[in-house]
Structure formats: structure tokens, C-alpha cells
Amino acid sequence: MIETDSNFEQLNSLMTFLLKKDIYKNRIIEACPNCNGKKYIRYGAYKGIQRYKCKECSKTFSNSTNSLWSYSKKNSPKWIQFIELVIERKSLRFCAEKLEISLVTAFYWRHKVLNGLNFDSIPEKLTNNVFISKKLIPENFKGSRNIMTDKRHNIWVIAAKSSNDSMIAKPISKIHWNLNSFNKKIYYLIDKKAYITTYCDRYLSAVAAKHNKKREYQVFDDKRIKTFPNILNLWLKKYHGVATKYLENYLSLFILFIINRKIDSISISNQLITGNRYIRTNEIGLTLE
């Protein structure tokens, strides 16, 4: 008797298996995700994905452990489709209807993706000519309950970009300029021999004057950083407001757009699963509060 598959359910299942197996095949495991031990052995495979057993804690793990969609019951193609929709900046409601997932699931998936991108948004170094600008964004409590204040303080967002298109953008402080926070989040990336050009801020100008001293470079304007406040303002409007506790993760996606980097859902998916990008739903936003 010939079994038919008119709805392609078996084909889709096979494609999901092959895709997931291929994606995780080249993932590098540096240590046990449970105890961080370096000694582990191969321990069979499950659904084509290599498993390991740690010699130090005796727990098992696999090439998929702590990846972006660890423990997710949804298939890989659906995740990749969702990542594409995140890149296209579609609304959560659109994503939920398109992929037939709940609105709550779409919310957490978006923040899992953004959190994963945040790991890779920090450049190794900012060299040569470095351009810095700021944007003050009113504090946003979108999605929060039991708000105890009517005040909306300004959040200082600093963007720094080198002439070779390496860039970082981070919220560094609330209400007032904070030099220590700036040093920890931005300045430590700037090469000592770099020349800093700043726009429209006396605090940043003071940092540049102290850093540059006798350094002489042929300096050009960087239009993307010079107009950074306006560009970021227009970009955020698409989301109808971004909660302050999630702002840093949204900035990691913003960087990909402002530097015009070619991105697609497949390459982003591969990028997100190569490291430990997993975050539990109850941890989303906690590190930013």
C-alpha cells in the first residue's frame, strides 16, 4: 500500500531534521554548560545531533544545549522565518498570525533573538578616526505594571563608530552624564592611538580633548553618527515605543541597519547558535533594569 503525503507533513519533518542537524554540526563546544568543565566525551547522538558527557559533573549535553532555541518545541524553519520577520521589523501581532504562534510566544522570541544579537554587537576595537554622538531618550515603562512614578527621566544613549564601520551603541546612564559608565561601556574599546571626533555634547568634547592631545589625523565627518539622534528616533518609532529595560538589545539590531550591513535570516541564525545565546524567559530584561 502506497502512503501519500499530500500535505507534505513527512517532507517538512525531514527538512526540519536535516536543517537542525546541519546547523548544529559545526557548533564548537568549549566547555560543559553545567559546570564549565573542559573534560567531556562523545556520548552518542539524539535525532542526528551529537551528545556529550562531562567527566567532571557526569551530566550530559549536546551541540544544541544553550543555543538560541534550546528547549523550544517549535521547528527550526519556524525560528528562521521568525528571525527574518525580526529583521524586517514586523509587529509582534503580524509575526504571531503569520507563524501561528501566540502573541506571548512572539514577544519572548523577539527578545531571545535581540538578546542573542547583543552578544555579537560589541566590536573588538575602535581604531583610527572614531566618531561619537549621543541621544537622550525619555524613560519608557512600556509593559510594566504597578508603576510608582509619573516622572520620565532621560536615558543617555551613546554611539561610537570607527572609520572602518565598527560600531557600538549603548545606554550608559540615567538623568545625568556618568563618566565611569561611559568608560566601562564605550571608552575602553577606543584605541589609544585613535582620534576622537564628537558631535554636539560638551561632556563628549571634554573626553575627546583629553584623549586626542597631540594626535593629528585627517578627520572627515561621519554623517551617520552626526545625524545619529534623528536616525535613532525615526528607527524606534516603528516599534511604537521601546521599554527602557529592553533598549540595549534593540540597539544591537539598530547597529546592523545604520552601518548598512548585509544581513539575512539564515546567516543570523547560524551566527546566533554558534555560541551560548540561550536565555530563559524569566531572565529577559532583568540584566538591563
Hey, where are the domains in the chain? 1-65, 129-264+280-288
Residue in the block written with cell 538589545 = 249
Q: Are strands 195-198 and 129-138 parallel, antiparallel or unpaired?
A: parallel
Residuewise pLDDT in 10s, the chain (289 residues): 434 444 435 435 544 544 565 666 767 777 887 888 888 888 888 777 788 899 889 888 887 777 777 777 777 778 888 888 988 899 999 999 999 999 998 998 898 888 888 776 788 899 999 999 999 999 988 877 777 777 889 999 999 999 888 999 999 999 999 999 999 999 999 999 999 999 989 999 999 999 998 777 766 789 999 999 999 999 999 998 899 989 998 998 899 888 766 666 667 777 776 666 656 666 565 443 3
How far is 137 from 239, CA to CA, in rounded Å? 14
What does pTM read for this prediction?
A: 0.78
Write the Ramachandran bin of 114: left for phi over 0, alpha for psi from -120 to 50, otherwise beta.
alpha
Residue spans of alpha helices (H) in the chain: 9-25, 76-87, 92-99, 103-119, 179-185, 202-212, 223-226, 228-237, 247-258, 265-273
**CB contact set of 1 (below 8 Å; sequence gap of 6+):** none
Residue 26, pLDDT score: 67
∠ CA 158-187-133, rounded to 5°: 30
- Identify the sign of the CA torsion 269, 160, 228, 173: positive
C-alpha distances out from residue 148 to 151, 152, 178, Å? 9, 11, 25
Nearest CA to 255 out of 138, 123, 127 is that of 123
